[in-house]
Structure 1
Amino acid sequence: MKIFFLDWKSIGNEDIVDAIDNLNKSGYSIDIFMHPFDNHIDDGDKEYETTLEDAIKKQDPDIVFSFNYFPLVSIVCNRIGITYVAWVYDNPCVRLYSYTLINSCNYVFVFDSQMYEVFASQGIKNVYYLPMAAAVHRYDGLKITPEKQKRYSSRISFVGSLYCEDHTYFDDIADKLSDYSKGYLDGLMKSQMQIDGLNIIEKSIPPVVMQDMVNALGIKPSSDSVATYEYLYSNYVINRKITSIERTEILTQIGEKFGIDLYTKDKSFSPKGVNNHGETDYYFGMPYVFKCSDINLNITLRSIQRGIPLRIMDILGCGGFLLTNYQEDLFNFFVPGEEFVYYESRDDLMKKIGYYLEHDDERREIAQKGYEKVCAEHTYEQRLMEILDIVTP
């Protein structure tokens, strides 16, 4: 089998290549061709479309593979009769709402069961639910030297965006909204922050408020998209803002009581007790943070409604102790209290931080069991086999 891999600056590229190498050692015969790809390409770029088609024909693969979904790629694959596999790790992912999604060449895998159910309910049968994976083989090869331990050792850590660095759409339009719209959205966001496991935003925006936001920001669905204004603005504007508020408030609260190490792009955020290290590299820094932290915190982006964020897989795959907000899909694969711990409120979060900082053996046992579960069921090798079983039965 030959895979034509669209190589853009995506998380997981190296891990897929590594997984294929490992599968080949166990009896598979998979050849992979890495093709440089521009993930920012305009979906209607005919010149790029022709160039890509020529490159695919030259290699004559069985499968074209990409992380995330690209309508232009689907158009090319559908025209020349090549299977297109897209493993989507972003949510929201507006390109999924392209009319090309129903192309017969497509096998699209999404990590959030809520996202899967949206398409399944519309009768779309080429979208599949598939959680993300952990690069256990790579993580196991990273040794904790005394130097690494000193650099990354932490009682509590969080790795992730504060969503205040760029694309701060809500802040951009706040002063342009009417008092009614601003007050309504403020109340809606406060209500959502009291609820885990159910996102109420998309179905709770009245037409007058939606029109006010559209007039202020101007973002519209593309001509080939079936995405609604409600989908775009709830996920790209409001849910991002809610996540920004939640993360900064929670980190500030933890910093004041316990102290916390933060790895994020925005170096300006440094309230009392928050040690902001700046951004850390996904491959060469982040795994050491997870391995060397007593407690690894996950605060999920609000647009990920049920899915298991990649951060969770990475923490568990590194053998780290995970303390996370409630995510429904997580309970379908991992046992709470045995393989991870979740919090139900901010008060509960603070209590559990205090408890697990004082109970080292229990914390380490939970981390070990979470790691063992990932090794047994959630590696890139296993995910790749699941994909191939569906695509090439």
Structure 2
Amino acid sequence: MNILIFEYNNFGTEDVKECLEKKGYKYTVVETDEYRNRVSPEFDRLFEEKFSEGINGEKYDCVFTFNYSPVISNNCKARNVPYIALVYDSPQVLLYSYTIINTCNYVFIFDKTQYMELKKEGINTVYYVPLAVNTDRMKRMSAAQEQNRSRFTEVYGGDIAFVGAMYNEKHNLYDKLDGISDFTRGYLDSVMNAQRKVYGHFFLEEVLNGEILKDMLNSLPLEPNNDGVETIQYLYADYFLARKMANDDRTEIMSRLGRDFGKEYMVNLFTFNETPMLLNVNNRGPVDYYNDMPYIFNNTRINLNITLRSIKSGIPLRGMDVMGAGGFLMSNYQADYYDWFVPGEDMVMYESVDDLSDKCRYYLSHDNERKQIAANGYGKISEFHTYDVRFKEMFDVVFN
């Protein structure tokens, strides 16, 4: 098997390479951001060059990327070669490109609700799979850690931690809606506050219409791409409001945990954002996905997953990574967890900020139960959700 891989700062590329090497497959990795465009003559030329080269004179059997690329799909269609895309980001407006129906496509989506929405529209090139973890890499890191456990605990350890963006940048899209009326802003604040109380159903797209939508368009005009079927409501809800809600959700949660636990326990936040408003929370700055993050998960008693609302039901990569590193996962409700894990046995879900605080208090004082849950979650990941397992499943679909 010869595989052509295009990537640009994707989490997991190194793990994919290790997986393929173990299987004895050959691959070429090409790093370029051009493949993320809908149309790119420059990329077309690059694709032709790399695809024609092959590997030691042998042709490529398929092309692989994380997330979906219309320009790659069209190039694969022209050459009648399978295109395998494993989607881990959300939102993913490129999934609504007309190219999604190209018969060369095998698009594996981690969000079951989004997969079902596309499938119901007759899109037969999409498939549902959860994301994966390289547990072999986790084992190597764990062995290295055991050589000097105290140092790793000192550098990475804590009682409660969240790793991720706070979405409070000055250039965030929601704040660019500065021309909307007070009525529209009040309406948007109200529907976002209502959505924050609801897990399991993302309804913001449904409530953007009429004069509200017209006012938003007047303030910051948007147009759907002419080669796609995404709606204006989708763009505003998933790219503007969902990210604003992520800022609100994460700020409220970290503020609450800092207030409830920060004086007694170590509450850590690993992010590139500045957070002077969070009292009793240690902002430890950004960390490297490969070299630091697994140690944080393994050395923190409670690891938080606070899902971006545009992920409607899927298990985010962060949740899989926590369990794959042997960490204890505390996550908001996401329906897809029930497909693969048992909440309360493999990981824990919270239903509200109050519930989260109560459960943090409980598991900080029940170490044995917490450690057993973390071990159960790791066991499920290592048996069913490694890259070895996932690529076998995907290749079985593509080549059998």
Q: Structure 2 length as normaliser, TM-score?
A: 0.94
Residue 21 of structure 1: aligned partner: 21
In structure 1, the partner of 2:238 is 235
User: How many angstroms apart in 2 are the aligned matches of 1:155 and 1:40?
Assistant: 41
Greater alpha carbon shift after TM alignment, 300-309 vs 267-276: 267-276
State the shift of 1:139 in Å: 1.1
Asked whether the 8 Å contact 1:270–1:276 carries over to 2, the reply is no
Aligned partner of 2:23: which letter?
L
Question: What amino acid maps onto 1:153 in structure 2?
Answer: G
Q: Structure 1 180/40 Cα, relative in aligned 2: closer, same or farther at 3 Å? A: farther
Distance 2:276 2:291 in 1: 23
On the 8 A contact 1:316/1:374 being kept in 2, the answer is yes
Equivalent of 2:282 in 275, 281, 286: 275
Partners of 2:34 and 2:40 within 8 A in 1:
no
13, 19, 26: which one aligns with 1:31: 26
Q: Which amino acid aligns with 1:56?
A: F
Alignment map for 1:39-50 (pairs within 5 Å):
39=34, 41-50=36-45
CA contact (8 A) 2:37 2:70 kept: no
Count of aligned residue pairs for this structure pair:
387
Distance 1:166 1:281 in 2: 23
Question: 2:166 corresponds to which residue?
Answer: 162
* Post-superposition CA distance 1:327-352 (Å, at most 9, x none): 00001100111111111111111110
Match of 2:375, SS? helix
Match of 1:212 among 175, 192, 215: 215
Matched to 2:112, the amino acid is S
Q: Paired residue for 2:360?
A: 353
- 1:46-125 to 2 correspondence within 5 Å? 46-59=41-54, 60-125=59-124
- 1:151 — aligned with what? 155
| Aligned 8 A contact 1:197 1:305 in 2 | yes
- Say yes or no: does 1:334 pair with 2:338: no
Q: Which is worse superposed, 325-334 or 57-66? A: 57-66
Q: 1:268: how far off?
A: 3.5
TM-fit CA distance, 1:321: 0.5
2:249 corresponds, among 221, 246, 254, to 246
1:119-167 C-alpha deviation (Å, 9 max, x unpaired)? 1011110100011011211111113222221111100000011111265
Q: Supply the distance in 1 between the matched residues of 2:311 and 2:198 (Cα, whole angstroms).
A: 14
Alpha-carbon spacing, 1:354–1:302, altered in 2? closer, same or farther (3 Å): same
Q: How far did residue 207 of structure 1 move?
A: 2.5
Opposite residue 313 of structure 2, the aligned amino acid is R
Q: Distance in 2 between matches of 1:242 and 1:41?
A: 26
Which amino acid is 1:159 matched to?
V
TM-score normalized by the length of structure 1: 0.96
- Residues 166 and 297 from structure 1, CA distance in 2 versus in 1: closer, same or farther, beyond 3 angstroms? same
Is residue 8–residue 39 contact of structure 1 (8 Å, CA) maintained in 2?
no
- Asked if 1:185 corresponds to 2:188, the answer is yes
Cα offset, 1:20, TM superposition: 1.3
Read off the aligned partner of 1:359 and give its amino acid letter: H
What's the offset of the Cα at 1:37?
2.3
Q: 1:389 to 1:343 in 2, by over 3 A?
A: same
Amino acid at match of 1:162: M
Deviations 1:241-271 (A, max 9, x none): 1111010011000001112100011134452
CA distance in 1, matches of 2:350, 2:202: 17
- Residue in 1 that maps onto 2:381: 374
Aligned residue in 2 for 1:8: 8
What residue number does 1:391 align with?
Answer: 398
Per-residue CA deviations over 1:72-94 (Å, capped at 9, x if unaligned) read: 11111101111111111111101
| Identity over aligned pairs, percent | 41
Aligned pair 1:321/2:328, yes or no? Answer: yes
Query: Residues 110 and 129 of structure 1 are in contact (CA less than 8 Å); yes or no, is this contact kept in structure 2?
Result: yes
| C-alpha distance in structure 2 between counterparts of 1:291 and 1:229, whole Å | 42
Aligned AA for 1:266? N
Contact 1:214-1:220 at 8 Å conserved across structures:
no
**1-structure distance, mates of 2:252, 2:281:** 11
Which segment drifts farther, 263-272 or 330-339? 263-272
Cα shift at 1:185: 0.5
SS in 2 for 1:387: helix
Residue 176 of structure 1 contacts residue 216 of structure 1 at CA under 8 Å; is this kept in 2? yes
Superposed CA RMSD in Å reads: 1.3
Q: Within 5 A, what are the aligned runs for 1:121-132?
A: 121-132=120-131
Shift of 1:364: 0.4
Tell me the residue number matched to 2:351. Answer: 344
Q: Is contact 1:112-1:307 (8 Å) kept? A: yes
- Mapped contact 1:75–1:100 kept (Cα < 8 A): yes
How far residue 51 of structure 1 moved from its aligned partner, in angstroms, is 2.6
**Is the Cα contact below 8 Å between 2:15 and 2:387 reproduced in 1?**
yes
Contact 1:165–1:265 (CA<8 Å) still a contact in 2? Answer: no
TM-superposition CA deviations, 1:199-251 (whole Å, max 9, x none): 11111112221222222222322221111001111000001111110100110
- Aligned in 2, Cα 1:77/1:269: closer, same or farther, shift over 3 Å? farther
Cα distance in 1 for partners of 2:83, 2:113 equals 22
Give me the whole-angstrom Cα distance separating, in 2, the residues matched to 1:358 and 1:387.
Answer: 42
- Alpha-carbon distance between aligned partners in 1 of 2:42 and 2:114, rounded to the nearest angstrom: 32
**Distance in 2 separating the partners of 1:167 and 1:205:** 22
AA aligned opposite 1:76:
N
CA 1:166 to 1:9, structure 2 compared with 1: closer, same or farther past 3 Å? Answer: farther
